[in-house]
Structures are given as C-alpha cells and as structure tokens.
Amino acid sequence: MIGQLENTLSVNKKKIYIGGLSMGGMGTFEMVARNPNKFAAAFPICGGTNVRFASLMKDTPFWIFHGEADTVVPVTYSKEIYEALKNLDAEVELTLYPEAGHDSWNNVFKEPGLMPWVFKHSR
C-alpha cells in the first residue's frame, strides 16, 4: 500500500512516518523491521515485538508509549524492546503512563511534543 501511494501521489519519501496502537503498535514494529530504511520515525502505542528484531529497527527513531496498568498488552513488551534498542544506541524514547490501561493512546495523542518529534525526523 505504501508503495502504491508513493507511486500515485506526491509523497516525500524522506518523511514517511508510522504509528499504531495495540496490534497496530505491534504492526508498527513489524513494518519497521521488514522495511528498515523506509520510515523516518515510528511511534508504537501499547505494542511490542520480539527483541531479536531490534537490530533491524535500530536506525529508525522510536518513541514508544505504554500504560503501566495495561491488562491487554503487558507493559514489559514495550520496556524490553526499548532496552534492546537502547543497547544498540538507537534513538529511542519510552513514555509510560502509570495510571493508564490499554487505552493509553488517549494520553499519547495529548502529548504536546509528539507531532514536533515526529516531523523533525527525515531519512
């Protein structure tokens, strides 16, 4: 789909971003791992991935979000991939919301720095 959009619309290929929540957060990690040179920045929300894929994602800036009271997707998933990326000297941030459950995206989309952080990145 991204390739189709790139071919039919005027897309700045240096400024393609990805984000998602819950399974979309997991999909965000997956898409970056499968396309390590595609995205300028990524912001998964209450997701996670296998830490073995960290080396594939280390060149994409990540801002990872998760609610610490999440009972659907364990917050450890985000903490583990954050640590794995950090250990590879990746540009990665982790924001945890102590009181938030699985609906932590409500907090994320109120983050005043999110969009400026996203848009400052380019490939």
Q: Does 52 map to a domain?
A: yes
Q: Is a pLDDT exceeding 90 seen at residue 1? A: no
DSSP 58: T
Q: Does 9 map to a domain?
A: no
Q: Does 31 map to a domain?
A: yes
Please report the pLDDT score of residue 73 as a whole number: 97
Q: Is a pLDDT exceeding 90 seen at residue 2? A: no
Q: Are 13 and 21 in contact (CB under 8 A)?
A: no
Interatomic CA distance for residues 53 and 32, integer angstroms: 10
Output 99 or 1, whichever has higher pLDDT.
99
**Which structural domain, as residue segments, surrounds residue 107?**
24-112
Q: Does 96 map to a domain?
A: yes
Please report the pLDDT score of residue 63 as a whole number: 98
User: Residue 98 CB: number of other CB atoms within 10 A?
Assistant: 7
Q: Does 92 map to a domain?
A: yes
pLDDT in tens, 52-110: 999 999 999 999 999 999 999 999 999 999 999 999 999 999 999 999 999 999 999 99
Largest CA distance in the chain: 43
Q: Does 17 map to a domain?
A: no
Query: Residue 96 belongs to a domain with what CATH number?
Result: 3.40.50.1820
Q: Does 71 map to a domain?
A: yes
Interatomic CA distance for residues 49 and 24, integer angstroms: 11
Please report the pLDDT score of residue 64 as a whole number: 98
Q: Is a pLDDT exceeding 90 seen at residue 38? A: yes
Q: Which helix (H) or strand (E) holds 78?
A: helix 75-87
How many domains is the chain partitioned into structurally?
1
Please report the pLDDT score of residue 44 as a whole number: 98
Q: Does 59 map to a domain?
A: yes
Amino acid at 6: E
Please report the pLDDT score of residue 83 as a whole number: 98
User: What's the pTM value of the predicted model, to 2 decimals?
Assistant: 0.95
**Sequence-distant (≥ 6) Cβ neighbours of residue 99 within 8 angstroms:** 67, 68, 69
